[in-house]
Amino acid sequence: MTTINDKQLDAYVAGKTELKDLIGLSSTDLEQLKGRAQFFLDGSHKERALIMLEMLEELDRTDSAPSLLAIELLLEQGNSDAAEEKIEALLARDPSDTDALVAKAQLLVGIGQMVPAAELLERVVAKDPDAGSDAGKRAVALAAHAHDLFENG
């Protein structure tokens, strides 16, 4: 069993080290945990998938993928408050995170706040005018969806 001392704990709390490193989790171990989360997602075990994704978030806060998947799942379930908490945590770490900006825009579109959503999408498109990144592609698709909602009520 791995023992974590106060200095290591302080470094984790300060964001200077990740839990995966403190407990000696290998990249293979992390990939297996990600695979398990995907297994639950694919099998429609959404609550179990959320548990796995939240564990992955804590193990490696530098990897936004588990948070983004959890946000998507929470939005699908209509849990916008929990999704917003995760989005704000990502943006607190990196205010220019295009994936988090698109997730925030998606949340805003879902609650009918089209103007703030459009402003966020404009920021993403300004960073990726050719929509070459995944976030850029999602921003363009979301903008089209928001336009359709606006036009068709």
Name the DSSP class of 17: S
Q: Please name the residue ranges forming H helices in 44-133.
A: 46-59, 65-76, 80-93, 98-110, 114-127
pLDDT digits (tens, 9 = 90+) for 55-74: 999 999 999 999 999 999 99
Q: Which two tokens stand for residue 71?
A: 């946000």
pLDDT digits (tens, 9 = 90+) for 5-30: 999 989 999 989 999 999 999 999 99
pLDDT digits (tens, 9 = 90+) for 86-137: 999 999 999 999 999 999 999 999 998 999 999 999 999 999 989 899 999 9
State the Rg of the chain over Cα: 17
* Among 58, 55, 53, 84, residue whose Cα is nearest residue 70: 53
pLDDT at 1: 66
Residues of the chain with pLDDT > 90: what percent? 80
